[in-house]
Amino acid sequence: MIEIIKELVMKEIPESNINVEGDGSKYVVNIISDIFVNKSIVERHKIIYSILDKYIKSGEIHALTIFAKTISENDKS
């Protein structure tokens, strides 16, 4: 499932840096992309949820923690 999550997100947000960890049905997604510029945390999460919607609805992804940053936000941390 980790590779599926990576592939789906990379397909929709190709110019991103993504790391996915987890097992079973609980995953943590760390993603860095300028697609998040001027978007709230809620808007950022909605983008990722919409990409993974099929797997969330099926229960294959039960818990999803998302850390979505812009490139400049990541550079500051």
pLDDT at res. 19? 98
Q: What are phi and psi of 42, to 5 degrees?
A: -60, -45
Helix (H, G, I), strand (E, B), or coil: what is residue 42? helix
Question: CA nearest 16: which of 46, 41, 38, 48?
Answer: 48
Helix, strand, coil % over all residues of the chain, rounded to 5: 50, 25, 25
Neighbouring C-beta atoms of residue 59, cutoff 10 Å: 8
The residue extents of the domains of the chain are 2-76
In Å, the largest CA–CA distance within the chain is 37
pLDDT at res. 29? 98
pLDDT at res. 77? 79
Instruction: Kindly give the confidence (pLDDT) of every residue in the chain, 77 residues in length, as a single tens digit, with 9 standing for 90 and above.
Output: 999 999 999 999 999 999 999 998 999 999 999 999 999 999 999 999 999 999 999 999 999 999 999 999 999 97
pLDDT at res. 34? 97
Q: What CATH number is given for 2-76 in this structure? A: 3.30.300.90
Does this model's pTM top 0.95? My answer is no
